[in-house]
């Protein structure tokens, strides 16, 4: 890294150290051998391409040989008719050669596209099998780099490197055989080039492997930073970090340019050395061949020397091309190495052999002696015991870092516990097939991620075969159809990337409707109703009550309205359950939960005196004047009291 490189995150430093630990090992051609195995499903195309390669390798030396024969024969002998016939024969062979080139390139493109298609699909399937912990460690930009840019350089390796190299090597072999048959002594001069070329290859292989790896790892860092900067543009602009992020990105691009220049400098020395070696050998042929032509004791004619020089030209012509292909081969192998490293990364855990599917679920959950460590020796949960009867709602509260999110992720089998077990209907979740378990489970997170498409597409995510009427009924059951119909085009409104064109409340309603349509027996809600205004909170709370009714639910709660309705409240501190009971019972205990509540009450009184509460205008309430509608006035009054309390105790980041 250059002195101007930006400060790296801890993740970057660790990844960079791992990269530096391997870059000095030259790339192995066994990687290319493994890549060739991806051609097996496309044997027919590969066989046709091989035939075209062989024909092309023979035709190019044949053109030079035919040209030499015409010069040394009809032209030297003054035979006009023979010269014309030779010219037409040359044109016919040249036309056939170009036709072969067309099919060779076309078949190579087809084979390359087929291999890339299979490779990308395999990568995507593998990524979908990886557990959540993998994505916690692996930056998004690196994954994108593997699937996009690394696969593209592999495409070049398949389409060009392999078959262009085969044509070049075949062309050299055929030309060498013809030269050996024509003049063995002069051929020995040409053969003396081989040790020099091998020496150049050995000398440059290590340095070029290192330079190529640096370029691709640098490109991965650029891609990763770009992905993070674009996805986090609202945070960047909100904290006026445009100049800082631009500076960091500029340094990364500067480093990438430097690595590219290092690679090209090596390439700029490698190719001229190969070409100069070829030209030096040609000069030697000219000197030795010219001496033999001029020597009275030699029978070599000028035409034979010209023919040999043509063949030598055909022999040396692929040298530059092979040098370029060597560069592409190193790049393709570096990309393939990174791809295969990802494919060879085994999931940290998979379903046990014989894990069973569950056709139905009652929803009784038992957590027995649960413990978990993200890193060995650093436990985040300690001996958690908890039972949720079917249909109960469990509210989980606690300060930041207390292990709330980790606990619900273990219950959802997004991670596996390092100690203890989770039972669902008396079955250990390790013995239940993950997809089968998740089909009976709905997970709603605070981020409320939506996929690009329409509202209808996103709600159908849990049940792709659902009809429009079933989707509409799910929304009506939540009592939120008016919020969806208010969108342009209603259910057919485009949500934008990540749901960016919708408000937070609209995104949450879509996620609630998605869960309602899937009709699971168990819900996991991770802070699903935080960060919205009080009136919207009222609508969402009512929708949430309908959603959870009759279903086993684990809710990471920030709102007392949710906690009051819970059958059991669990208070987590430092990865341990310190209190459990109903809202009223915990207040009577006068411990951790009661202290939170008292703090909340004091703050709410202070906020109430300041008169912070403001009613929304009537048009935001569907045209109803809250002062004239007794029902609305009562609901607003109750919500006002709840929200004022909740802001103090659970509305901040302290209780995450």
CATH number of the domain that 421 lies in? 3.40.50.300
What is the pLDDT at residue 21? 40
Q: Does a structural domain hold residue 121? A: yes
Mean pLDDT of 614-643: 41
CATH of the domain at 181: 1.20.1560.10
Same domain for 323 and 375: no
Give CA–CA dist 614/346, Å, rounded.
Answer: 55
Give CA–CA dist 329/168, Å, rounded.
Answer: 14
DSSP bridge partners of 580:
570
Q: Does a structural domain hold residue 628? A: no
Q: Does a structural domain hold residue 69? A: yes
Residue, of 521 and 282, whose pLDDT is higher:
521
Helix (H) or strand (E) holding 554: strand 552-556
Residue, of 518 and 275, whose pLDDT is higher:
518
In DSSP notation, 558-622 reads --HHHHHH-SEEEEEETTEEEEEE-HHHHHHHTSHHHHHHHHHHHHHHHHHHTT---PPPGGGGT
Same domain for 392 and 311: no
Residue, of 243 and 251, whose pLDDT is higher:
251
Same domain for 385 and 339: no
Q: Each residue of 318-354: pLDDT tens digit?
A: 776 777 777 777 778 888 888 998 999 888 888 888 8
Same domain for 314 and 371: no
Residue, of 616 and 112, whose pLDDT is higher:
112
Q: Does a structural domain hold residue 52? A: yes
Q: Does a structural domain hold residue 91? A: yes
Same domain for 107 and 210: yes
For residues 580 and 563, the answer to whether their CB atoms sit within 8 Å is no
Judged by average pLDDT, the poorest of 294-303, 393-402, 572-581 is 294-303
Same domain for 385 and 431: yes
Q: Does a structural domain hold residue 288? A: yes
Domain boundaries, position 385: 365-440+520-588
Mean pLDDT of 240-244: 73
Same domain for 122 and 255: yes
Same domain for 427 and 299: no
Same domain for 197 and 56: yes
Q: Each residue of 128-150: pLDDT tens digit?
A: 888 888 887 887 778 888 888 88
Of the three residues 555, 570, 588, the one that is the final residue of a domain is 588
Mean pLDDT of the chain: 78
Of the three residues 343, 374, 398, the one that is the final residue of a domain is 343
Of the three residues 549, 568, 588, the one that is the final residue of a domain is 588
Give CA–CA dist 53/67, Å, rounded.
Answer: 22
Give the chain's domain count: 2
Q: Does a structural domain hold residue 473? A: no
Q: Each residue of 540-561: pLDDT tens digit?
A: 777 778 888 888 999 887 666 6
What is the pLDDT at residue 99? 93
Model confidence at 441: pLDDT above 90: no
Q: Does a structural domain hold residue 86? A: yes
What is the pLDDT at residue 150? 87
Same domain for 221 and 73: yes
Non-local CB neighbours of 15 within 8 Å, separated by 6+ positions: 142
Burial 618-634 (b: 16+ CB within 10 A, else e): eeeeeeeebeeeeebee
Mean pLDDT of 355-365: 87
What is the pLDDT at residue 599? 64
The pTM for the full model equals 0.68
Residue keyed to tokens 């020099």: 196
Mean pLDDT of 153-174: 85
Mean pLDDT of 33-40: 86
Same domain for 35 and 178: yes
What is the pLDDT at residue 48? 93
- Work out the pLDDT band at 602, boundaries 50, 70, 90: low
Same domain for 398 and 335: no
What is the pLDDT at residue 213? 74
């Amino acid at each position: 890294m250059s002195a101007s490189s930006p400060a790296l995150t801890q993740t970057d430093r660790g990844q960079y150290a791992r990269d530096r630990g391997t870059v000095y090992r030259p790339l192995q051609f066994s990687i290319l051998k493994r890549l060739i195995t991806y051609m097996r499903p496309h044997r027919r195309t590969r066989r046709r391409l091989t035939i075209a390669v062989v024909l092309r390798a023979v035709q190019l030396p044949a053109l030079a040989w035919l040209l030499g024969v015409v010069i040394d024969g009809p032209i030297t002998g003054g035979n006009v008719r023979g010269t014309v016939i030779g010219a037409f024969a040359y044109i016919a062979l040249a036309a056939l050669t170009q036709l072969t080139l067309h099919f060779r390139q076309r078949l190579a493109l087809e084979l390359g596209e087929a291999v890339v298609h299979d490779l990308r699909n395999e990568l995507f399937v593998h990524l979908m099998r990886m557990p959540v912990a993998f994505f916690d460690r692996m930056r998004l930009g690196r994954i994108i780099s593997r699937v996009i840019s690394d696969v593209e350089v592999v495409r070049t390796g398949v389409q060009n490197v392999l078959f262009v190299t085969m044509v070049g090597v075949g062309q050299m072999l055929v030309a060498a055989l013809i030269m050996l048959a024509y003049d063995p002594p002069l051929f020995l001069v040409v053969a003396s080039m081989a040790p020099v070329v091998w020496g150049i290859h050995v000398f440059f292989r290590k340095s070029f492997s290192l330079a190529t790896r640096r370029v691709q790892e640098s490109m991965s860092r650029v891609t990763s930073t770009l992905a993070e900067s674009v996805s986090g543009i609202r945070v960047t602009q909100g904290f006026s970090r445009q100049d800082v992020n631009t500076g960091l990105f500029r340094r990364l691009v500067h480093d990438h340019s430097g690595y590219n220049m290092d690679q090209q400098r090596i390439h700029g020395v490698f190719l001229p050395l190969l070409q100069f070696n070829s030209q030096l050998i040609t000069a030697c042929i000219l000197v030795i061949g010219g001496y033999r032509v001029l020597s009275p004791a030699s029978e070599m004619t000028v035409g034979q020397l010209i023919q040999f020089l043509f063949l030598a030209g055909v022999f040396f012509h692929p040298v530059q091309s092979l040098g370029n292909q060597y560069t592409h081969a190193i790049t393709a192998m570096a990309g393939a190495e990174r791809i295969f490293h990802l494919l060879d990364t085994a999931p940290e855990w998979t379903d046990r052999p014989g894990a069973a599917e569950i056709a139905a679920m009652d929803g009784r959950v038992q957590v027995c002696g649960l413990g978990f460590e993200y890193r060995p020796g650093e436990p985040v949960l300690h001996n958690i015991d908890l039972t949720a009867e079917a249909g109960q709602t469990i509210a989980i509260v606690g300060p930041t870092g207390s292990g709330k999110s980790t606990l619900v992720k273990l219950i959802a089998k997004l991670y596996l516990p390092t100690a203890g077990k989770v039972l669902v209907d008396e079955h250990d979740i390790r013995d239940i097939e993950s997809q089968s378990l998740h089909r009976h489970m709905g997970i709603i997170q605070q981020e409320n991620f939506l996929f690009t498409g329409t509202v209808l597409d996103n709600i159908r995510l849990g049940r792709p075969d659902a009809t429009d009427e079933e989707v509409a009924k799910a929304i009506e059951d939540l009592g939120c159809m008016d919020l969806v119909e208010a969108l342009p085009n209603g259910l057919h409104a485009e949500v934008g990337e990540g749901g960016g064109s919708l408000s937070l409340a609209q995104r949450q309603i879509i996620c609630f409707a998605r869960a309602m349509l899937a009709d699971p027996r168990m819900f996991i809600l991770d802070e699903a109703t935080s960060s919205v205004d009080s009136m919207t909170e009222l609508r969402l709370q009512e929708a949430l009550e309908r959603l959870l009714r009759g279903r086993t639910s684990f809710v990471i709660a920030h709102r007392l309205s949710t906690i009051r309705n819970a059958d059991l409240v669990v208070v987590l501190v430092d990865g341990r359950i310190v209190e459990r009971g109903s809202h009223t019972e915990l207040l009577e205990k006068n411990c951790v939960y009661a202290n939170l509540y008292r703090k909340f009450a004091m703050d709410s009184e202070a906020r109430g005196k300041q008169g912070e509460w403001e009613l929304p205008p009537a048009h935001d309430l569907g045209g109803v004047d809250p002062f004239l509608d007794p029902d609305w006035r009562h609901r607003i009054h109750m919500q006002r009291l709840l929200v004022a309390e909740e802001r103090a105790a659970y509305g901040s980041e302290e209780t995450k």
